[in-house]
Amino acid sequence: MTETFVIVGGDAAGMSAASKAKREDPDLEVVVFEKGQWVSYGACGLPYYVKGEIQSLEHLVSVTPEEFREERDIDLRTGHEAVAIDPDDKTVTAESDGGRTVQPYDQLLIATGSESVVPPIDGTDLEGVYTLGSMSDGKELREYVARARDGGTLQQPDRGPACRYLEDCAGPVGIVGGGYIGVEMAEALAANGFEVNLFQRGDRVLKGFSDATSDAVADHLREQDVALHLGADVQTLSGDDRIEAVVTDDDRIAVEMALLGTGVRPRTGLAEDAGIELGETGAIATDTYRETNAPDIYAAGDCAESTHVVTDEPAYVPLALTANRHGRAVGQTVTGQPTDGGAIAGTAAVKAFDVEAARTGLLDHDDARAAGFDPVSETITANSRAGYYPEGGTVTITLTADRETGRVLGASLVSKFGEGAVHRSHAIVAALTEAAIVSDLENYDLAYAPPFNTTWDPVLVAAKVLSGHVQ
Amino acid sequence: MTETFVIVGGDAAGMSAASKAKREDPDLEVVVFEKGQWVSYGACGLPYYVKGEIQSLEHLVSVTPEEFREERDIDLRTGHEAVAIDPDDKTVTAESDGGRTVQPYDQLLIATGSESVVPPIDGTDLEGVYTLGSMSDGKELREYVARARDGGTLQQPDRGPACRYLEDCAGPVGIVGGGYIGVEMAEALAANGFEVNLFQRGDRVLKGFSDATSDAVADHLREQDVALHLGADVQTLSGDDRIEAVVTDDDRIAVEMALLGTGVRPRTGLAEDAGIELGETGAIATDTYRETNAPDIYAAGDCAESTHVVTDEPAYVPLALTANRHGRAVGQTVTGQPTDGGAIAGTAAVKAFDVEAARTGLLDHDDARAAGFDPVSETITANSRAGYYPEGGTVTITLTADRETGRVLGASLVSKFGEGAVHRSHAIVAALTEAAIVSDLENYDLAYAPPFNTTWDPVLVAAKVLSGHVQ
């Protein structure tokens, strides 16, 4: 009898699983319930869509629903919201305009993703307040930008980034949260001529990165005329129908729009209702094969926990590669080839205007101590290319290791855009995944030529300096 | 009693050793004999000096002789050629304009470097035939370029790269050898308006790289109007006093200048005369601490062998990082802290016009089989940035692994300049140094954001594809 693999959620994890399962076992029946109309899209591209560098939302879609249905023979049902899972009867109930479906499964993947966190303050429901978690969010925000142009709010709509040098530049906007979305959207909105205010509760942006990276990005945001409000506790979004101001503990900044970039949380309601256990992080707990406590029910992507490669403990870091990787692994596992999708290192990259940054592993010393390490960090700044090579800049790297064993625990890197902070982080991801020690990393025979680095690549310089501080 | 550490050769390995030894043990007397006037220079920058992107040879010097003497308290004797080593008496004899010195040593480092190979053909001593191994070579070549401009050989001296589009462009030149120097100098000379002929005996340029990389670079050289003569066996450099033509087995190309980029060999005469053993590669054999068969005599840099990290066998790959790393390790070892400078992976990077390439590890299947592996390679081409991100190109990666164990053996990468082939190679160097298997590499949690890669970085794509071909 044909087995049925049912998937709830048609984005990265879900569609990776569907495609892989079907490729490994063409006889498998694969059914996907997606409540929206978009599947398999690159949400990470939304800031560039709003910025105007990507012309159509369709460009963010890697495979269309038609291709999944026709070329990959996947029974993809968009506009179908899964509303209940019965682990005993092994069914999923979904609702659509056409009514209610009760779909039996042999194996089930929950890939319900994450949702934007809306902070518990007044005014978040005012007109002109946005989040950027979904394609429809992106569409609304781009429409706002277009209206601001057309309606004359932006008096120099065609000037783009140069607008900030003009006295009649208009359109102050507020971004609440200085994480990835916050800094990427600062670039996107400034490029469209808005005066950008960025509000961050803590004392630095990109708090998962090192202080040195945060400082470099903050300095650059200020250079780009972003008004950075650090240590700003946003208390209210104020206005009648439309937002008029962001009110913090000690200031009131007039804005015409506000974007909430205050993080995401796993969408776990459907799983919880079915008695599936969450982990300490609040996301769905799984084993290394992404199977939940309920037999034959898997969870992957932004709704699920992963295992951290350094701590070997559960971790929740909802990012695209993990969703793809774990979805794909589940797709292979359900065809009878148990596949461990691998641990995560909490690696992330971001571009903000003309800087790029990456982070990986354990950086925070309290986190490292909680995981049983004795962390030590060093920060170096080194030339990104040979000093005599015309062009280039510097790369600043914070490298963290365990003092006793020398094990590489984490890193944070920042450089001018194009000077290689992000691609250089790849070597450190490799090192910490392989549980390398600092003196191993110091001796890696990395590629060298004057247009690309100094004889000792900045990664090696960081390892060399740090190795003097471990035993 | 004060110990004396004597070093023969004042470039990367020698001066790294001198500096490190003095830093670790300020009481150590450190004497360096350098036959020339230049020390601690970046020979890798010479093509960019000839190109005109670096204004002065001094810019290639990282630390001046005066700084070594005054700030680092190193007894640096330029203009002193070491002519004999007596391992029994533990002395080095050096000659200079001032006469002959017999210098006792407690420990000795031979860092005599390499020299350009001149092929055994007629005409290599003609005027207008150059090599590019030393600072004085660079100076002569740049002077030639300047004379060609001033003397009107180049009729459009100010047009630089655009010259090739002009009918009255002049100055055909020949480069013999399609290795690093060959392709870098093709760029440097074309940028100065010369018509460049590149002669390569084998059927592809950059033969240490993969076929896919060689092909991509060759295609690009042709796009840049370099006349590429592959499979060309250069038989004579022809002319009376000055070179007039490069004669191959089936052609005669008129040139006004020829550059020999036909590789280097270790400079081992001094060591051999002292009874120091060479290895199978023809370079000085050492243990992992770079000590030769003669007690207290070390060898490092371009004159010495290294150990290959994949094969664990002696290898001769004379490159700058190894010289720095091994010199520094010897500097530490002689102060009583035995330091293994690490193995090499034969990693190299090169830029040619607007492409960049890197290679690392074992790529050639015959070499891999000789080392006991059962090699399998796959070549992929993937987007260098998210497909929807405006800008970017592709990265082509050839990844090689052992079929039986899955161990990563080597890689060759190529992309448009700036699209990250070189920095991405760092991750593969790390993987092969850590003896990682392909499925480990496939699961590395590499940084992702649309301006830097696709969700699966090209490195992961290569590993994913190759992992289907290993057991």
Chain B interface test: which of A41, A183, A388, A432 (most B C-beta within 10 Å): A388
Q: Identify whether A344 is part of a domain.
A: no
Quick check: A413 and A421 in contact, CB under 8 A? yes
Q: Considering Cα of B63, then B65, then B67, then B69, what sign does the dihedral take?
A: positive
Q: How many CB atoms lie within 10 A of CB A336?
A: 10
Chain B interface test: which of A16, A446, A456, A457 (most B C-beta within 10 Å): A446
- ipTM of the complex in this document: 0.95
Give the CATH number for residue B198.
Answer: 3.50.50.60
User: How many domains does chain A divide into?
Assistant: 3
B80 & B164 share domain? no
Query: Residues of B with CB below 8 A from A324's CB?
Result: 455-456
Q: Which of A262, A292, A315 is the last residue of a domain?
A: A262
Q: Identify whether B242 is part of a domain.
A: yes
How far is the C-alpha of A141 from the C-alpha of A145, rounded, in Å?
A: 6
A412 & A369 share domain? yes
A191 & A155 share domain? yes
Nearest CA in chain A to B323: A455
Q: Which run of H or of E encompasses B109?
A: strand B107-110
A229 & A303 share domain? no
B378 & B326 share domain? no
pLDDT-wise least confident of A138-152, A239-253, B431-445: A138-152
**Whole-number pLDDT of residue B161:** 43
CB contact under 8 A, B45 and A388: yes
Gap from B247 CA to chain A (nearest CA, Å)? 32
CB contact under 8 A, A324 and B456: yes
Q: Which of B262, B277, B307 is the last residue of a domain?
A: B262
**Whole-number pLDDT of residue A152:** 58
Nearest CA in chain B to A384: B423
Cβ within 8 Å of A, B 272-311: 309
Catalytic residue numbers of B, as ranges: 44
CB contact under 8 A, B388 and A42: yes
B80 & B140 share domain? no
**Whole-number pLDDT of residue A171:** 78
Taking residues B372-382, report their average pLDDT.
Answer: 98
Give the CATH number for residue B447.
Answer: 3.30.390.30
Gap from A26 CA to chain B (nearest CA, Å)? 18
Q: Identify whether B344 is part of a domain.
A: no
Cβ within 8 Å of B, A 393-422: 417-418, 420, 422
**Whole-number pLDDT of residue A399:** 98
pLDDT digits (tens, 9 = 90+) for A224-275: 999 999 999 999 999 999 999 999 999 999 999 999 999 999 999 999 999 9
A133 & A255 share domain? yes
Which residues, 6 or more positions from A324, have their beta carbon under 8 angstroms from its beta carbon?
A: A12, A13, A16, B455, B456
Q: Is pLDDT of A84 > 80? A: yes
Gap from A464 CA to chain B (nearest CA, Å)? 11
Q: How many CB atoms lie within 10 A of CB B174?
A: 29
Residue A421 lies in domain: 355-467
Residue recorded with tokens 């800094």: A183
Q: Identify whether B123 is part of a domain.
A: no
Cβ within 8 Å of A, B 17-76: 42, 44-45, 48, 53-54, 59-60, 62
Nearest CA in chain B to A58: B388
Q: Which of A302, A333, A364 is the last residue of a domain?
A: A333
Which one is catalytic: A44, A163, A169, A303? A44
**Whole-number pLDDT of residue B167:** 41
Q: What is the share, in percent, of chain B residues with pLDDT greater than 90?
A: 92
A310 & A246 share domain? no
CB contact under 8 A, A360 and B425: no
Q: Identify whether B396 is part of a domain.
A: yes
A241 & A279 share domain? no
**Whole-number pLDDT of residue B171:** 78
Q: Is pLDDT of B154 > 60? A: no
Facing B434 at nearest CB: one of A12, A436, A451:
A436
pLDDT digits (tens, 9 = 90+) for A1-54: 789 999 999 999 999 999 999 999 999 999 999 999 999 998 999 999 999 999
A222 & A309 share domain? no
How far is the C-alpha of A281 from the C-alpha of A265, rounded, in Å?
A: 10
B277 & B362 share domain? no
Gap from A228 CA to chain B (nearest CA, Å)? 23
Q: Identify whether B343 is part of a domain.
A: no
CB contact under 8 A, A448 and B321: yes
Does the CB of B463 have a partner CB in chain A at under 8 Å? Answer: no
Task: Report the DSSP beta bridge partners of residue A298.
Answer: A109, A291
Facing B324 at nearest CB: one of A420, A422, A456:
A456
A17 vs B41, residue with greater confidence: A17
Q: Identify whether A123 is part of a domain.
A: no
Cβ within 8 Å of A, B 335-364: 340-351, 356, 358-360
B378 & B457 share domain? yes
Closest CA to A195 of A155, A236, A238: A155
Q: What is the share, in percent, of chain A residues with pLDDT greater than 90?
A: 92
Query: Residues of B with CB below 8 A from A319's CB?
Result: 448
DSSP-based three-state secondary structure for B462: helix
Gap from B170 CA to chain A (nearest CA, Å)? 27
**Whole-number pLDDT of residue B159:** 43
Q: Identify whether A342 is part of a domain.
A: no
